[in-house]
Amino acid sequence: MPRSLSVQTEDELGGALSVLTLQRRDHHRLDLLLERVANTTGSQRQDALTALCRLVFPHAFAEEAVLWPLVRRTLPDGPALTLRVEQEHQEINELFAELERTDPDSPQHRRLFERIAQLLRQDARDEEDLLLPKLQEALDPRALRRAGLLWSALRYTAPTRPHPTVSRRPPGNALAALPLTGLDRARDRLDQAARRAPASLAAGCRNTSHVLASVAGAVEHLPLLRRGEHSTTRAGTSERFRKGMS
């Protein structure tokens, strides 16, 4: 019976550079950031949300571009396991996109975030308790460290915002990475500057961020960026959204 990553030592996971260790480390940071968002208000909450996005979306991109293809090649039930996670990622992207369009001080914003937090925690548990322990049984520590190096390289050069129309699989997500990463990270800096700048400068930062958001929206709707996606990735996301918010 595979053991959950949560109860294993770093050595058991393959060392500090193993993709399993890196995944668990991000999941720990995720828990801390979710608590920060839930327990702060105003600009502090917005800063925590930005930090959360800069963790969640690069992490998911590296999984979808490196780790889940490896799982599909390695495990007999890999396609089914990764499809379930990709469907969770799709719903999280859709909810975060809705969150961006919602007044940060509204009750709806809080309800959306509570649903997002629930999904993110479930996603982490699914990975640590089921999917990744199976991969651990199939690969030796050296292979896990190789995967960790590639995962890390992509994680630090990945988009930091939700892009629900982009494929959750290569080649679409890989093609999206270069343009969307630059746009997302520029918007992160502008939005953070707007919360700290004098009113005369803050308006300019926000306007520029909105322009970049429009550009990103146009880019992510390019047909090439949907290539490779499984036909059922988006199936039922609207229904799951309604159930989660009810």
Please indicate, yes or no, whether residues 187 and 129 belong to a single structural domain of this protein.
no
- Rounded average pLDDT over 95-109: 95
How many domains are contained in the chain? 2
Please indicate, yes or no, whether residues 136 and 36 belong to a single structural domain of this protein.
yes
Digit-coded pLDDT (tens) for 152-189: 999 999 999 999 999 999 999 999 999 999 999 999 99
**Amino acid 244: pLDDT:** 57
Please indicate, yes or no, whether residues 60 and 46 belong to a single structural domain of this protein.
yes
Structural domain range at position 137 = 1-158
Percent of the chain, pLDDT > 70? 95
Residue 31 lies in a domain: yes
Please indicate, yes or no, whether residues 167 and 150 belong to a single structural domain of this protein.
no
Integer Cα distance of 111 and 208 in angstroms: 29
Residue 187 lies in a domain: yes
Burial code (b: 16+ CB inside 10 Å, e: under 16) for 131-146 equals bbbbbbeebebebbbb
CB 104 within 8 A of CB 230: no
Digit-coded pLDDT (tens) for 10-57: 999 999 999 999 999 999 999 999 999 999 999 899 999 999 999 999
Task: List CB contacts of 22: < 8 A, sequence separation 6 or more.
Answer: 148, 151, 152
Instruction: Show which of 158, 174, 207 is a domain's final residue.
Output: 158
Confidence of residue 240 (pLDDT cuts 50, 70, 90): low
Please indicate, yes or no, whether residues 178 and 112 belong to a single structural domain of this protein.
no
Please indicate, yes or no, whether residues 100 and 219 belong to a single structural domain of this protein.
no
Please indicate, yes or no, whether residues 135 and 196 belong to a single structural domain of this protein.
no
Residue 245 lies in a domain: no
Percent of the chain, pLDDT > 90? 89
CB 83 within 8 A of CB 232: yes
Residue 246 lies in a domain: no
Please indicate, yes or no, whether residues 105 and 210 belong to a single structural domain of this protein.
no
Please state whether the peptide bond connecting residue 171 to the residue before it is cis, i.e. omega within 30 degrees of 0.
Answer: yes
Please indicate, yes or no, whether residues 88 and 205 belong to a single structural domain of this protein.
no
Residue 54 lies in a domain: yes
Integer Cα distance of 132 and 20 in angstroms: 7
Confidence of residue 2 (pLDDT cuts 50, 70, 90): confident
Q: Give the type of residue at 27.
A: H
Task: List CB contacts of 38: < 8 A, sequence separation 6 or more.
Answer: 113, 117
Rounded to whole angstroms, what are the CA distances from 44 to 36, 47, 101, 192?
Answer: 9, 5, 19, 11
CB 133 within 8 A of CB 4: yes
Integer Cα distance of 20 and 58 in angstroms: 16
CA max distance for the chain: 61
The four Cα atoms 131, 135, 138, 140 give a dihedral, to 10 degrees, of -150
CB 167 within 8 A of CB 228: yes
Digit-coded pLDDT (tens) for 112-123: 999 999 999 999
CB 15 within 8 A of CB 24: no
What are residue 59's phi and psi, to 5 degrees? -60, -50
Instruction: Show which of 115, 131, 158 is a domain's final residue.
Output: 158
Confidence of residue 245 (pLDDT cuts 50, 70, 90): low
Please indicate, yes or no, whether residues 150 and 198 belong to a single structural domain of this protein.
no
Integer Cα distance of 214 and 57 in angstroms: 19
207 Cα distance to chain centroid: 26
Instruction: Show which of 158, 175, 192 is a domain's final residue.
Output: 158
Please indicate, yes or no, whether residues 67 and 151 belong to a single structural domain of this protein.
yes
Please indicate, yes or no, whether residues 102 and 125 belong to a single structural domain of this protein.
yes
Determine the 3-state secondary structure of 192 from DSSP: helix
